[in-house]
Structure 1
């Protein structure tokens, strides 16, 4: 468990693979996540990579103005169902492509993305739609 914002920041800045693993896999209290969000905007992408962040932090990061952070959220498999729909309509094509490649994306969202105006997004969605069709 991560016991302070300072500890999380130290883990993120470390070159030690064990520290990096801890920064993405260990939980922290809601207060620590809130402090990090409020005071360390430059670390939002690191926060987004953590597998244990609470839903309200996921939702906040999914709506932030940083497309790289939204793309990291779009890769997560355990995001709330409604965020798949929201992120599939993101202005940034990288975010939409990450949703199209997410293994947990609902069929309805994946099918919607097969018609994306950006060819690379539609191609990823088509490919994954085809994989799902073969598995049925």
Structure 2
């Protein structure tokens, strides 16, 4: 378990792969995650990349000013419907594209994305909608 923001940083920036893996997979309490996010802006993408980061933190990161952080959040399987809906309206094309491909995106979210301006996002959303109609939902 990661016990502090400084421990996360030391794990994240080590050259030893064993410790680096801990930064991507270990758990921490909510206070530690929020402390990392609040005090250290640079590793927010890595914070979002952690396999055990809680939804409360992902919700905060989904509003991050850096589109790279929001994109990383959009790749997470465990997103809530609320976070998916928020990211589907993101101003960054790559974030919306990731949501169009997200396995938990609802048909209403996909329908909204399918009518969007960027053809790549719209095509991905239409493809997912077609899979719902075919009964595949994948």
Common fold: TM-score over 0.5? yes
Match of 1:34 in 2: 34
Instruction: Report the alpha carbon displacement of residue 16 of structure 1 after superposing the two structures with TM.
Output: 3.6
Structure 1: gaps of 5 or more residues: none
Instruction: Report the alpha carbon displacement of residue 97 of structure 1 after superposing the two structures with TM.
Output: 0.3
Structure 2: gaps of 5 or more residues: none
Regions of 4+ moved over 4 Å: none
> What RMSD over aligned residues (CA atoms) do the two structures have, in Å?
1.6
Instruction: Report the alpha carbon displacement of residue 4 of structure 1 after superposing the two structures with TM.
Output: 2.0
Give the structure-2-normalised TM-score.
0.88
Pick closer, same or farther for the CA change 1:114–1:8 going to 2, 3 Å.
Answer: same
Give the structure-1-normalised TM-score.
0.90
Match of 1:73 in 2: 73
Residues 57-81 of structure 1: per-residue CA shift (max 9 Å, x gap): 1111101111110111111111121
SS at match of 1:42: coil
The alignment covers a number of residue pairs equal to 136
SS at match of 1:52: coil
Instruction: Identify the structure with the greater helix proportion.
Output: 1
Pick closer, same or farther for the CA change 1:42–1:127 going to 2, 3 Å.
Answer: same
